[in-house]
Amino acid sequence: MLRLGRREFGPHEPVIMAIVNRTPDSFYDRGATFGDEPALARVEQAVAEGAAIIDIGGVKAGPGEEVTAKEEARRTVGFVAEVRRRFPDVIISVDTWRAEVGEAVCEAGADLLNDAWGGVDPGLAQVAARYGVGLVCTHAGGVEPRTRPHRVTYDDVMADILDVTVGLAERAVALGVPRESVLIDPGHDFGKNTRHSLEATRRLDEMVATGWPVLVSLSNKDFVGETLDRPVKERLIGTLATTAVSAWLGAQVYRVHEVAETRQVLEMVASIAGHRVPAVARRGLA
């Protein structure tokens, strides 16, 4: 059972996490939701389309202008409070690696801390434990936040992913984070080249076999773009194909830009797997 905020999800229940970037320079939307009203409209749309989690980020993942912890908090804390007020039942996640930002957003009503940089600030898990919120434990290959991998190598990329993410998850639980609120994430593109991310996808069932709920953040990433030689705005089909494979192999949470399309893919895979009945079943019965 996965428990986040006020919600509980069964083992075969896919969960969509919609991305809302409070940044002026995000790689995908180029600042489309930097302003409060466009960001709130994005939340409303994502919830209407089936997102259970809203993931709010105040710093883009890639290199760029420095964003201090104070500025990151300015971009996220008030917005978290407003989303909490307008959407009391939605699960609010904040994408941050900083404990001080995690503390502030938890005070404002966040339910989940999405640590995409592999525990670089060990205090973030302590914050999650203190507030009783969830934590995403991600493999980032040991790289510094907001840096790109350079000639990174692994003897066995999945073995490294398992060692890091399971270790972070076990540490979080030992600190007091509720076990049912801890997820692990292979960290596609983070500290990895395209072949590493493809292998992580291909072997995702090994992560699922650990028993920890698996979150994947695949949406329009560089490994999709390089695999198909497509620019950012032409990666949806590749993203959805990767989503379908990940769903078949047992991933549970999907961090995405396109909610409606992802929902259809997840529902189709769930029905093929026998975990969901068709929405309509008239063919051959009339």
Task: Kindly list the catalytic residues.
Answer: 221, 255
Angle, vertex CA 119, rays to CA 189 and CA 196, nearest 5: 25
Secondary structure letter of residue 179 according to DSSP: G
- In angstroms, rounded to a whole number, what is the distance separating the alpha carbons of residues 232 and 32? 15
- What is the CB neighbour count within 10 angstroms for residue 48? 10
Query: Which H or E element spans position 222?
Result: helix 222-228
Instruction: Specify the residue for token string 């919120």.
Output: 133
- In angstroms, rounded to a whole number, what is the distance separating the alpha carbons of residues 141 and 163? 11
CB 110 within 8 A of CB 94: yes
Q: Which residues have a Cβ under 8 Å from the Cβ of 18 and sit 6 or more positions away?
A: 42, 43, 46, 47, 49, 51, 53, 54, 55, 256, 257, 259
